[in-house]
Amino acid sequence: MEKTEPKQAMKELTMMLLYLSRFTEEKDFLEANDYYAWKGYDFDILNELDEADYIRQGKHPSRTKSVYITEEGKERAKELLKKYEIEDWK
């Protein structure tokens, strides 16, 4: 595995943690299409992920406590899980 700079690692690991700690408002988690995650992570990193359209923080980012994970974010998280050899939920 190639080395990753600390700033990039923080961004990648945050994306993976958002994805792995995701929740849904539907009853069947694995059948859901819309995922959210609590945003207890570095705000600069969250802003960068938002700018990359991996997550959406809402109209008032400082007032919301969760983020929406976009389709691009889901795909990026899955790529990162493979990169770091981490299994997804089954």
Here the CATH number for the domain that contains residue 72 is 1.10.10
| pLDDT tens digits, one per residue of 8-66 | 999 999 999 999 999 888 766 566 778 999 989 998 999 999 999 999 998 776 778 89
pLDDT for residue 29: 57
- Spatial CA neighbour of 67 closest among 85, 54, 52, 80: 54
pLDDT for residue 57: 92
Name residue 38's beta-bridge partners.
66
Does residue 69 lie in a domain region? yes
Does residue 44 lie in a domain region? yes
pLDDT for residue 77: 97
Residues of the domain holding 62: 6-83
The token pair that represents 33 in the structure block? 């299409």
* pLDDT of 1 higher than 80: no
Specify the number of domains making up the chain.
Answer: 1
Give the Cα separation of 51 and 83 in Å (integer): 22
Does residue 89 lie in a domain region? no
